[in-house]
């Protein structure tokens, strides 16, 4: 996942002062009441067999604990908007992890994942390939994410694949700094926020359709209309 210079600037701004993307003044929804054990484990149950490292790593309790550190998640708008945001988050997570199967990017150790940066310099011998529910990658994401959640992810990026709470915190950090603010524009805007240059505008329709399918299914489970503009 690569942030443009503009997106990175917005990310740093939001890290310093949380960005609200939903309608102002709304209480949203109780995240823990929507994300039940049945819902969470229903996703995991669709993962592959014993080779899925994430099945014994990702837990609902870790997600709820991480979400407590992001009080604006699923808040700031109506209850329906809150439910849609949770559905959208888990739609992207399901796509990125294969139903919570993957913790680490496939063949990630062989990928170039360090960009020259005076602010977020790469630590010697460390790799910044995709890890976690939204596959955080690159030093310029690990650095500010770690600063925001209070852990040195530049010095120890492997922690994202070792601690499920930190793992979910990185995913929620990415979400709040990229997708939360565009949720009022529809689910399609969240796809564009993360991978628009790669999959939108007919470039990779299968990837778009998979995410839209997950989103619609989770909205159905949450008894909420998916809203408009769900594709990109």
So which residues are the catalytic ones? 96
Structure tokens at 132: 């976690």
Residues whose CB falls within 8 Å of the CB of residue 137, separated by 6 or more in sequence, listed in order: 1, 2, 105, 108, 113, 128, 129, 130, 131
Q: What's the CA gap between 96 and 210, in Å, rounded?
A: 11
- Residue 111's Cβ-side half-sphere holds a number of Cα atoms within 13 Å equal to 16
Print the SS3 string covering 129-193.
CCECCCCECCHHHHHHHHHHHCCCCCCCHHHHHCCHHHHHHHHHHHHHHHCHHHHHHCHHHHHHH
Q: What's the CA gap between 190 and 196, in Å, rounded? A: 9
Q: Which residues pair with 81 in a beta bridge?
A: none
- Tokens linked to 78: 């109506």
Half-sphere exposure of 185 (CA within 13 A, CB side): 14
């Amino acid at each position: 996942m690569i942030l443009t210079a503009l997106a990175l600037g917005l990310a740093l701004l939001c890290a310093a002062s949380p960005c609200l993307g939903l309608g102002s003044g709304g209480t949203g929804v109780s995240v823990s009441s929507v994300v039940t054990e049945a819902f969470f484990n229903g996703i995991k149950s669709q993962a592959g067999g014993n080779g899925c490292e994430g099945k014994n790593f990702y837990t609902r309790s870790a997600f709820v604990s991480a979400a407590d550190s992001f009080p604006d998640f699923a808040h700031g708008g109506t209850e329906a908007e809150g439910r849609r945001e949770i559905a959208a988050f888990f739609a992207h997570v399901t796509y990125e992890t294969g139903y919570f199967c993957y913790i680490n990017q496939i063949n990630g150790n062989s990928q170039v994942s360090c960009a020259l940066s005076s602010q977020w310099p790469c630590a010697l011998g460390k790799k910044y390939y995709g890890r976690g529910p939204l596959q955080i990658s690159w030093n310029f994401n690990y650095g500010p994410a770690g600063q925001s959640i209070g852990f040195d992810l530049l010095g120890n990026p492997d922690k994202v694949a070792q601690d499920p709470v930190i793992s979910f915190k990185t995913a929620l950090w990415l979400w709040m700094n990229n997708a939360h603010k565009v949720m009022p524009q529809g689910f399609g805007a969240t796809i564009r926020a993360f991978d628009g240059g790669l999959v939108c505008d007919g470039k990779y329709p299968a990837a778009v359709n998979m995410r839209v399918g997950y989103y619609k299914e989770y909205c159905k489970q949450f008894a909420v209309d998916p809203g408009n503009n769900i594709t990109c």
